[in-house]
Amino acid sequence: MSAQNVVEGDYVLLYLDQRRTYLVKAEAGKTLHTHKGFIKLDDVIGRGYGERIKSSLGVDFVILKPLLRDYIMKSARKTQIVYPKDVALIVLFSGIGPGSRVVEAGTGTGALTTALAHYVMPNGKVYSYEIKAEHLEIAEKNVKRAGLLDFVEFKAKDITLGIEEQDVDSVVLDMATPWLVVPHAYKALKPCGTIVSFSPTIDQVVKTVEALRENGFMDIDTVECLMRGMQTERGRTRPQTLMTAHTGYITFARKAAKP
């Protein structure tokens, strides 16, 4: 069967409209129930990606191959996730790419972990620290669903007590007290390695930046990404009423030799 056709066990995105999409595993005998009728997933298996399929009420859904952003936004969650707009900046400014070795903390429910794993493959690794077992359990399921489990090592440990890995390319922090990790990050990073911290409050940013300055980091910068969609229609194009505004501040720095 062509790679452009759905195989049993594939995750597919059933698209109704921009606000209503369904990430499901194509399994024989299973059914997706929606307010627009149900779809038997047996009927999805073998169909081509991009094809339309009708629900029991005759409503068209489109069978799409999930993108990274779909896996992120559809993550099962008990914690707030890092949104794609912030993930993009984290990856760009950190220099993470194929083959990178990345330390991450905390894992949360694995949305950022999924993104990092996507960018370090095929021969990189993400070492993800998390102290809450229930978060790790959900994160592992989310990363596995995206087919990226081979590129992640989950660690049920407190990163504020130290980082076991050495000569890593980047340290990415999404936790309440990132400044406590800065000295450990300096020791773990290779020369010119990068550190990125995502924090929702400016007080966290100030403490983290102070720690970075005290521990030999340079090129320190903090940004905030606000994303506004456009409602596009000839003669009536305007910004959407609602926007994804403040989600957090992103602080970047590079390791340098201490004076």
- The DSSP bridge pattern shows strands 11-17 and 60-64 to be antiparallel
The position carrying tokens 């595993």 is 25
pLDDT digits (tens, 9 = 90+) for 123-176: 999 999 999 999 999 999 999 999 999 999 999 999 999 999 999 999 999 999
Question: Which domain range does residue 57 map to?
Answer: 11-66
Per-residue buried b or exposed e for 32-55, using 16+ beta carbons within 10 Å of the residue's own CB: bebebeebebeebbebebeeebeb
Q: Taking a C-beta distance cutoff of 8 angstroms, is the pair 208, 196 a contact?
A: no
The verdict on 15 and 76 lying in the same domain is no
56 domain residue, yes or no = yes
pLDDT of residue 1: 46
pTM score, two decimals?
A: 0.90
The verdict on 105 and 37 lying in the same domain is no
Q: How far apart are CA 71 and CA 40, in angstroms?
A: 22
The verdict on 128 and 58 lying in the same domain is no
| Identity of the residue numbered 1 | M
CA atoms within 13 A on the CB side of 245: 4
> If you average pLDDT over residues 76-92, what whole number do you get?
88
Nearest C-alpha neighbor of 63 from the set 75, 49, 73 = 49
pLDDT digits (tens, 9 = 90+) for 192-232: 999 999 999 999 999 999 999 999 999 999 999 999 999 99
Q: Taking a C-beta distance cutoff of 8 angstroms, is the pair 79, 136 a contact?
A: no
The verdict on 60 and 95 lying in the same domain is no
Q: Indicate the length of the chain as a whole number.
A: 259
Residue 258 in this model has a pLDDT that exceeds 90: no
207 domain residue, yes or no = yes
CA atoms within 13 A on the CB side of 177: 8
Task: Write phi, then psi, for 111 (nearest 5 degrees).
Answer: -65, -50
CATH of the domain at 184: 3.40.50.150
Q: How far apart are CA 127 and CA 171, in angstroms?
A: 9
Number of structural domains, the chain? Answer: 2
In DSSP terms, 198 is beta-bridged to 250
6 domain residue, yes or no = no
The verdict on 163 and 248 lying in the same domain is yes
pLDDT of residue 76: 77
Tokens of 201: 């409050």
pLDDT of residue 2: 53
Tokens of 182: 């800065």
Q: How many helices (H) and strands (E) does the chain have?
A: 6, 15
pLDDT digits (tens, 9 = 90+) for 7-64: 999 999 999 998 899 999 999 999 999 999 999 999 999 999 999 999 999 999 999 9
The verdict on 39 and 155 lying in the same domain is no
The position carrying tokens 């999805």 is 44
pLDDT of residue 3: 67
Residue 71 in this model has a pLDDT that exceeds 70: yes
- Domain-terminating residue out of 66, 85, 105: 66
Q: How far apart are CA 196 and CA 214, in angstroms?
A: 16
pLDDT digits (tens, 9 = 90+) for 229-252: 999 999 999 999 988 889 999 999
